[in-house]
Structure 1
Amino acid sequence: MAIWDFVKDAGKSVFGKAEAATPKPAETTAAPAAPAQDADTTRKVEALKAELRALKLDKDDVHLTLKGDTVKLESRGADRETLEKLVLAIGNIEGIAKVEADLPKDAGEAPVFHEVKKGETLSAIAKAYLGDANKYNAIFEANRPMLSDPDKIYPGQTLRIPKSA
């Protein structure tokens, strides 16, 4: 199983405020703390699944397990490109630091991901990886539907770099 690291404090906010899952003092009961943690984890997994649905990456065979700030991603039917997009869609969510997933057996070499630095553009990233700044659209297309506009990238975001353009 491969593990990809992400910037935990960067990305799309889908979990809402922490207070939303924490009972107010007046609502506190004598119940053990573990079920509340399970409820919060369940809420977060449902938020992750909702994000995948919004991106149209929700396949019936996608299973997510959340432990702290690490998500284990399992999918039997996903091809390599879809699996890489699933990893990025989950990893580019605020609060997620690591994503674990198995690439298909015939996957070959590891995928190339790039963490966006302050001031970078898709053109600069394309020049560095693909040798031509004008190939920025290949990176944009490789990251759809997570990217809606080639000018809307942010520091800490992780992008998938296609093998060729």
Structure 2
Amino acid sequence: MIPIALDPRLTSLAVAGNGTLALRRYRALRAAGAEGALLFSDDPSAEAVEAAGANLRLALPDDAALAALHVLWIVDLPAEAAEALATRARAARVLVNVEDVPPFCDFHSVAEIRRGDLLLTISTAGAAPGLAGVLRRDLETRFGPEWAERVAHVRALRRAWQQEGVKMPEAARRIATLVEEEGWLA
């Protein structure tokens, strides 16, 4: 697996599917900053209609819609429909994840913890999602909400150091010293 972090402002993302899991995946994308993410559903719940609003498409993606995407999560569709959609998406050069069907996945979604701009992820390459969930819950207790402020503080320090001409190795040393002195990992 090759870990990457996609900027949702520069990437066209969508979920295709019906049901609770599709809506959960869509909400996770929105929470990650993908305000333009689309939800394609040929049988949306009232909750999905409300959550997606103008970003809801009342059908599964056709070839034109696929051509406009970079990444597609397929969730809560019958196996035959999911496989056919995944095949069409790949033909359009779209990265595909068919949730819980590793052979149809170009990538696997990670278990994640968000604290402002801090993003911690756990992956088992799709082999043990339950284990990834256990590890995520443990890390959530170790990295609480205070980490959002800590990252913002370090960002401000880095910007000031960059203006002073401080090079990256020195900035890294200063950050390590700050973390140690403040006991952030104690």
The TM-score bracket by the shorter chain reads under 0.3
TM-score (norm 1): 0.25
More contact order relative to length (CA 8 Å, sep ≥ 6): 1
Identify, as 1 or 2, the structure richer in helix: 2
